[in-house]
Amino acid sequence: MIDDPDHALLERYLRGDAHAFRDLVVRYQRPVYNAAFGVLRHADDARDVAQTVFLRVAERAGEFDGKHRVFSWIYRIAVNESLNVLRRSGREEALGEEDDLPDEARIDPQRHAEDGERARRVHEAMTRLPVADRTVLTLRHFAELSYAQIAAVLELDEKTVKSRLYEARQRLKALLPDL
C-alpha cells in the first residue's frame, strides 16, 4: 500500500462515513470535470460524466487496488467514461465545430479580451484534434499530470506518453500557425 491520503477517505467511506466521500468529491470535482470536458468538449456531457465517475468510485471503492494512487484511478475512470460517451454518441473522432463551453465561460468577454483569446483559439483547435490527442493534452496541460501519472492513468509506458504528447502538440501547433 502506498502512502496516499485519499486511501484513508475511501476506507472511511467504506466504513459508512458519508462525509469522507463528500470530501473526495469536493477534492476531485474540478479536475474530473475538466478532464471530462477536455475529452468531450461539451459542458453538459462533462457534468454528467463527472457525476457518473463519482458513482463508479462509490460502487467500486471496495475493489480499489491500494497499490495505485486514488487520483490515477479516478482519472482513469473519468477518461474511460468520457470515451464511452463519445463512443455511444458516435463522436469518437474530432468534433470539427465549436465546443460547448459552459455559459459562465462564454459570457465573460473581459476574460477573453485579457488573456483568453489565445486560450479560446487553443480550445477551438483542440476540438479538431483526434480524441487520443485531446486526452493526452488534457491530462498534461489541464490536469497538470506528469508523464508518469499520465502513463498510470492511460496504462501506457512513459515513453509512449512522451511520444503521444509530442505528436499531439505538433498537430495542435500546425492548427495554430500564427499563435
Cα separation values, 81 from 8, 14, 34, Å: 25, 23, 13
Interaction of residue 18 with another protein, rule CB under 8 A: yes
Binding mask 106-135 for another protein (x = CB under 8 A): xxx--x---xx-xx-xxx------------
State the number of binding residues for another protein (CB under 8 A). 51
Interaction of residue 165 with another protein, rule CB under 8 A: yes
Query: Cα(44)–Cα(72) distance, rounded to whole angstroms?
Result: 24
Among 11, 102, 156, 171, binds another protein (CB under 8 A): 102
Q: In the structure grid, which three cell numbers stand for residue 55, read together?
A: 458513482
User: What one-letter code names the amino acid at 117?
Assistant: E
Alpha helices in the chain (DSSP H): 5-14, 18-40, 43-60, 70-89, 103-106, 109-111, 117-127, 131-137, 147-154, 158-175
CB of 26 to another protein, least distance (A): 6
Interaction of residue 14 with another protein, rule CB under 8 A: no
Contact segment (CB under 8 A) with another protein among 20-28, 70-78, 83-91, 127-135 equals 20-28
